[in-house]
């Protein structure tokens, strides 16, 4: 299968501008500045069918087209590199090993929406990826790909690498903007959408790293080529982060629409010897679980939704028979409770309740009625919060209870696990 975004990531010097250029980099940018009007760039990307790779899967070209053309306000582009959802570790690879691909994508996207200031918001823990991005940005300035009058086109763009403070919520686009403005990272009610009123109250586009990394390739090879990968509604390739109980975890780039089993078994080698597959979290910690019989579900937005889950960020977490599902639910809810920003009461209080209830069951102190109480709390969070974090906490929790209710019941009745979780450290 042809790799696109990962074509050059294994080359040791790919992060340096000379190597990037030698391998065909910075060819899309001059083409764009010379041959295309901003609207034409938006049109090309819209025709390609590129959908956001951060989790929501919204059309990138459409998002760009929502930015008003005739506003006197400045416009901003933010690259979302706050990769923090458990299971997701793909953007880091692009930033560390092919940072200029991300920079070139940012410049083209910024030109398309006519922004003269762009930011890349890198999660605070990613010191090394941020360093690589800083280095790439400095090299791009030195070669005239950033700054005043880029390649004599008359177009100006500044790009700032901004590092965060270790908060998952900053990956939500409105919370990212709050954080970038220097506030606590609280999400904001939409509408107004960022495309109309975003950073500093000005039109702003927020795109994921992987989304933007696709843009130079789409410009170079055209929307039809892009559509030759993937499915009709989910075109292109996608990087899947495969983690958990597989023999060969890793980041794998495949065409959208390949079966889940191809990534887990063919690429990842399946679950370790002596174990059987129990469940799959297919799109990052916030997505509902799939069962072993669903392993042939195609990895695209539509098929995943049809199977009752989500493609999300493409983080496939494989769980084998060694895991207690109450323990799994606890691991997940502990994360969401910690990361709730606290703005909306249902999420702030609800995730704390869920954490308490699930930890109590896992700790052998569960009471009759706790399972229904958990589901009741879930129902009072879902759809009642400003941003999707509340829903993100509910979806895997409800799903685990639905699929493995017997383990919760056993736990409450017997004060112990049905399956004793034990994953040794090698």
Partner 1 sequence: MILTDETIRQIKIRMARYPSRRSAILPALTAAYKQVGHLNPAIYREIARVMDIPYIEIAEAASFYTMFPKHEVGRYLIQVCHNISCSLRGADNLIAYIEQKLGIALGETTPDKLFTLIAVECLGGCATAPTMQINDTYYENLTRARVDEIIADLRAKEEQDNR
Q: Which of 25, 52, 61, 164 binds partner 1 (CB under 8 A)?
A: 164
Q: Across 151-222, where does the E strand assignment appear?
A: 158-163, 204-208
Collapse the DSSP code of 51 into the 3-class scheme (helix H, G, I; strand E, B; otherwise coil) and give the result: strand
x/- mask, partner 1, residues 319-348, rule CB under 8 A, reads: xx--x----x--xx-xx--xx-x-------
User: Using CA atoms, how far apart are residues 200 and 117, in angstroms rounded to an integer?
Assistant: 12
Is 24 an interacting residue with respect to partner 1 (CB under 8 A)? no
Q: Which of 30, 65, 74, 151 binds partner 1 (CB under 8 A)?
A: 74
Collapse the DSSP code of 227 into the 3-class scheme (helix H, G, I; strand E, B; otherwise coil) and give the result: helix
User: Using CA atoms, how far apart are residues 90 and 264, in angstroms rounded to an integer?
Assistant: 16
Q: Which of 24, 68, 144, 165 binds partner 1 (CB under 8 A)?
A: 165
Is 54 an interacting residue with respect to partner 1 (CB under 8 A)? no
Smallest separation (angstroms) from partner 1 to the CB of 421:
8
Given the rule CB under 8 A, which of 46-54, 118-126, 132-140, 368-376 is the region that contacts partner 1? 118-126
Smallest separation (angstroms) from partner 1 to the CB of 107:
17
Complex with partner 1: residue 14 or 241, whichever CB lies closer: 241
Neighbours of 28 (CB within 10 A): 22
Among residue numbers 233 through 272, which ones bind partner 1 (CB under 8 A)?
A: 241-245, 249-251
Complex with partner 1: residue 8 or 90, whichever CB lies closer: 90
Complex with partner 1: residue 34 or 275, whichever CB lies closer: 275
User: Using CA atoms, how far apart are residues 423 and 2, in angstroms rounded to an integer?
Assistant: 35
User: Using CA atoms, how far apart are residues 387 and 59, in angstroms rounded to an integer?
Assistant: 19
Buried-state track 157-174, b at ≥16 Cβ within 10 A, e below 16: bebebbbbeebbbbbbbb
Smallest separation (angstroms) from partner 1 to the CB of 48:
27
Is 162 an interacting residue with respect to partner 1 (CB under 8 A)? yes
Complex with partner 1: residue 49 or 87, whichever CB lies closer: 87
Nearest 10 degrees: Cα torsion 363, 364, 369, 373: 0
State whether the Cα torsion 364-367-369-374 is positive or negative.
Answer: negative
User: Using CA atoms, how far apart are residues 128 and 92, in angstroms rounded to an integer?
Assistant: 9
Smallest separation (angstroms) from partner 1 to the CB of 289:
11
List the end-to-end C-alpha distance of the chain, in Å, as a whole number. Answer: 33
Residues 41 and 32 sit within 8 Å (Cβ to Cβ): yes
Among residue numbers 172 through 231, which ones bind partner 1 (CB under 8 A)?
A: 179-185, 200
Smallest separation (angstroms) from partner 1 to the CB of 6:
13
Q: Which of 14, 80, 88, 385 binds partner 1 (CB under 8 A)?
A: 88
Complex with partner 1: residue 83 or 370, whichever CB lies closer: 83
Is 86 an interacting residue with respect to partner 1 (CB under 8 A)? yes
Is 281 an interacting residue with respect to partner 1 (CB under 8 A)? yes
Count H helices and E strands in the chain, helices first.
15, 8
Buried-state track 335-344, b at ≥16 Cβ within 10 A, e below 16: bbbebbbebb
Omega cis (within 30) before 191: yes
Smallest separation (angstroms) from partner 1 to the CB of 89:
5
How many residues make contact with partner 1 (CB under 8 A)?
Answer: 60
User: Using CA atoms, how far apart are residues 51 and 301, in angstroms rounded to an integer?
Assistant: 10
Complex with partner 1: residue 80 or 231, whichever CB lies closer: 80
x/- mask, partner 1, residues 286-325, rule CB under 8 A, reads: -----------------------------x-xxxx--x--
Residues within the interface to partner 1 (CB under 8 A):
74, 83-89, 92, 117, 123-128, 160, 162-168, 179-185, 200, 241-245, 249-251, 281, 285, 315, 317-320, 323, 328, 331-332, 334-335, 338-339, 341, 423-426
């Amino acid at each position: 299968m042809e790799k696109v975004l990962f074509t050059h990531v294994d080359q040791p010097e790919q992060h340096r501008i000379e190597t990037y250029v030698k391998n065909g980099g910075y060819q899309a940018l001059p083409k764009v500045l010379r041959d295309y009007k901003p609207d034409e760039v938006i049109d090309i990307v819209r025709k390609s069918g590129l959908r956001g790779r951060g989790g929501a899967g919204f059309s990138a070209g459409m998002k760009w087209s929502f930015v008003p053309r005739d506003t006197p306000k400045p416009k901003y582009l933010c690259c979302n590199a706050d990769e923090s959802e458990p299971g997701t570790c793909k953007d880091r690879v692009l930033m560390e090993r092919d940072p200029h691909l991300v920079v070139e994508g940012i410049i083209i996207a910024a030109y398309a929406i006519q922004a003269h200031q762009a930011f890349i918001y890198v999660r605070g823990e990613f010191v090394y990826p941020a360093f690589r991005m800083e280095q790439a940005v400095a090299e791009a300035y030195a070669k005239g790909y950033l700054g005043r009058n880029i390649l004599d086109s008359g177009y100006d763009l500044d790009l700032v690498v901004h590092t965060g403070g270790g908060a998952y919520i900053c990956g939500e686009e409105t919370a990212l903007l709050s954080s970038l403005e220097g506030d606590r990272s609280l999400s904001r009610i939409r509408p107004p959408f960022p495309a109309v009123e975003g950073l500093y109250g000005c039109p702003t586009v927020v795109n994921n790293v992987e989304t933007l990394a696709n843009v130079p390739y789409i410009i170079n090879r055209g929307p039809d080529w892009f559509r030759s990968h993937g499915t009709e509604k989910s075109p292109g390739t996608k990087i899947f982060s495969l983690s958990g109980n597989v023999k060969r975890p890793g980041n794998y780039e495949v065409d959208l629409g390949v079966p889940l089993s191809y990534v887990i078994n063919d690429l990842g080698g399946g679950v370790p010897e002596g174990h059987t597959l129990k469940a799959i979290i297919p799109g990052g910690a916030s997505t509902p679980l799939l069962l072993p019989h669903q392993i042939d579900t195609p990895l695209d937005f539509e098929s995943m939704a049809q199977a009752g889950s989500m493609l999300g960020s493409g983080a496939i977490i494989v769980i084998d028979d060694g895991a207690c599902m109450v323990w799994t639910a606890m691991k997940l809810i502990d994360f969401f409770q910690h990361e709730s920003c606290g703005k909306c009461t249902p999420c702030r209080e609800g995730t704390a309740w869920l954490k308490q209830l699930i930890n109590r069951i896992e700790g052998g102190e569960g009471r009759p009625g706790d399972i229904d109480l958990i589901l009741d709390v879930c129902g009072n969070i879902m759809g009642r919060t400003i941003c999707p974090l509340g829903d993100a906490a509910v979806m895997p929790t409800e799903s685990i209870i639905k699929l493995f209710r017997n383990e919760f019941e056993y736990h409450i009745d017997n004060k112990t696990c049905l399956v004793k979780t034990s994953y040794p450290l090698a």
